[in-house]
C-alpha cells in the first residue's frame, strides 16, 4: 500500500491532471477553427437513410467560450483546493477540518444540555421526557441496526426491553457496555463432549434446566457432560450463568440464538462469538450517559411513562 502513497504518485497525479486540462483546451481550439470563407463544409462521413448526412461545422463560439470558462474554473479550483496529488490548496481546506469545525459548532450548542444530564443519575435522566427523546434519536442512530427499532433484538442480538441481561442491567454496567463494548465467546465443545449422541444428550440436559421441551432420558445421560465438558466454568453448577463473563442464564427461557435442539446442538459443537462495538470514543462521556439512561429505561420505566414496550 505504501507504493500508492509516495511522493512519486503525487507528482504523477498532478502531471496527468494538468496535461488533461491542457489537452481539453487544445482540442477545443482545434475543433473550433472557422472554415475558410467560400470553402464547402464537409461531412463526418456518416450517412443514414441513404441521403441523411452529418455536417462537420466548427464549434459555436459561445460553446467554445463556455468550455474555456470551465477549464479556467478547473485550474482555479486546483489552486485553491486539494486536487493535485498532495497539494492541499491555497485555502488549506480538507474534509476532516470541515467536519471538525461542524462538530465543534454543534457541540458548542448541545454540550451544555448534555452536561446538565451528566450531572444527574441515570434513573433521573431516564424519567426526563426531553432526555428520552434525545436518547431515542441516539438509539435509532447507533443501536437500531442490531437491536431493532423496537429494541427487542433478533437472533444473536439481545432484547433490551426485558430484564434478562448477559453482562448486567444496572446503570453502571450499561454505561460500561456502551463505552467499551463487549466480546462474548462460547467455545466450540463438540470434541470435548464426545459423539453426536453425547452432544444430543447434553443439549437435552440444557433444555431441562429451563423445563423446556426435552427428552428426560437423554437429559439424564447428558448431565455428567455438563460438568465434564467444562460448561459449569461459565454457566455455573446451577446453570444460572455469570454476568462477569457474559455467560447466559440457562434456567430461564430467554435464548439469544434460539432454544431448539438443533440450535443448541450447533452452539455446543461450533460455539458462538458475538461482539458489541465500543462507542465511548465516538460519543464521549456525556452522550454515553444519556444513551445508557434511555436503554436502562426500556426495561425499568413503568408502562405509560413514554418508554417503548
Rounded Cα–Cα distance for residues 182 and 179 (Å): 9
26 pLDDT above the threshold of 80: yes
C-alpha cell at 202: 447434553
Residues 138 and 283 in one domain: yes
For residue 17, the enclosing domain spans 2-34+43-80
309 pLDDT above the threshold of 70: no
- Residue 217, domain member (yes or no): yes
Total domains in the fold of the chain? 3
Confidence of residue 283 (pLDDT cuts 50, 70, 90): very high
Residues 177 and 202 in one domain: no
C-alpha cell at 293: 439512561
Nearest to 67 by CA among 100, 24, 112: 24
CA neighbours closer than 13 Å in the CB half-sphere of residue 306: 12
Burial status of residue 102 (CB atoms within 10 A of its CB: 0-12, 13-18, 19 or more): exposed
Question: What is the per-residue pLDDT across 171-226, written as a single tens digit (0 to 9) for each?
Answer: 999 999 999 999 999 999 999 999 999 999 999 999 999 999 999 999 999 999 99
Residues 215 and 239 in one domain: yes
Residues 107 and 76 in one domain: no
Task: Please give the C-alpha separations between residue 28 and each of 25, 61, 222, in angstroms, as whole numbers.
Answer: 5, 11, 83
Using a cut of 0.75, tell me whether the model's pTM lies above it: no
Residues 6 and 74 in one domain: yes
82 and 93 in contact (C-beta within 8 Å)? yes
C-alpha cell at 282: 465516538
Query: Residue 244, SS3?
Result: coil
159 and 152 in contact (C-beta within 8 Å)? yes
Q: Are strands 272-276 and 43-48 parallel, antiparallel or unpaired?
A: unpaired
Mean pLDDT of 88-108: 90
Question: What is the per-residue pLDDT across 244-268, written as a single tens digit (0 to 9) for each?
Answer: 999 999 999 999 998 889 999 999 9
Amino acid at each position: 500500500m505504501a507504493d500508492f502513497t509516495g511522493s512519486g504518485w503525487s507528482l504523477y497525479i498532478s502531471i496527468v491532471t494538468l496535461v488533461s486540462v491542457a489537452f481539453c483546451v487544445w482540442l477545443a481550439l482545434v475543433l473550433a477553427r472557422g472554415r475558410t470563407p467560400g470553402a464547402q463544409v464537409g461531412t463526418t462521413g456518416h450517412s443514414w437513410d441513404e441521403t441523411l448526412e452529418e455536417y462537420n461545422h466548427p464549434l459555436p463560439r459561445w460553446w467554445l467560450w463556455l468550455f474555456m470558462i470551465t477549464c479556467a474554473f478547473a485550474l482555479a479550483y486546483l489552486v485553491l483546493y486539494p486536487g493535485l496529488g498532495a497539494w492541499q490548496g491555497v485555502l488549506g481546506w480538507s474534509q476532516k477540518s470541515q467536519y471538525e469545525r461542524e462538530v465543534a459548532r454543534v457541540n458548542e450548542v448541545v454540550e451544555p444540555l448534555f452536561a446538565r444530564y451528566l450531572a444527574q443519575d441515570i434513573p433521573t435522566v431516564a424519567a426526563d421526557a426531553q432526555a428520552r427523546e434525545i436518547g431515542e434519536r441516539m438509539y435509532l442512530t447507533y443501536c437500531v441496526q442490531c437491536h431493532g427499532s423496537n429494541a427487542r433484538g433478533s437472533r444473536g442480538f439481545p432484547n433490551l426491553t426485558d430484564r434478562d441481561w448477559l453482562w448486567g442491567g444496572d446503570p453502571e454496567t450499561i454505561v460500561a457496555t456502551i463505552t467499551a463494548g463487549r466480546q462474548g465467546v462460547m467455545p466450540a465443545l463438540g470434541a470435548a463432549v464426545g459423539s453426536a449422541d453425547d452432544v444430543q444428550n447434553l443439549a437435552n440436559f440444557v433444555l431441562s434446566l429451563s423445563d423446556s421441551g426435552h427428552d428426560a432420558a437423554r437429559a439424564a445421560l447428558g448431565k455428567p457432560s455438563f460438568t465434564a465438558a467444562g460448561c459449569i466454568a461459565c454457566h455455573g453448577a446451577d446453570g444460572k450463568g455469570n454476568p462477569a463473563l457474559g455467560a447466559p442464564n440457562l434456567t430461564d427461557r430467554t435464548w439469544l440464538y434460539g432454544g431448539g435442539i438443533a440450535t443448541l446442538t450447533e452452539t455446543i459443537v461450533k460455539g458462538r462469538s458475538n461482539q458489541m462495538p465500543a462507542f465511548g470514543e465516538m460519543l464521549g462521556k456525556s452522550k454515553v450517559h444519556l444513551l445508557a439512561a434511555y436503554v436502562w429505561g426500556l426495561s425499568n420505566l413503568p408502562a405509560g411513562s413514554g418508554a417503548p414496550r
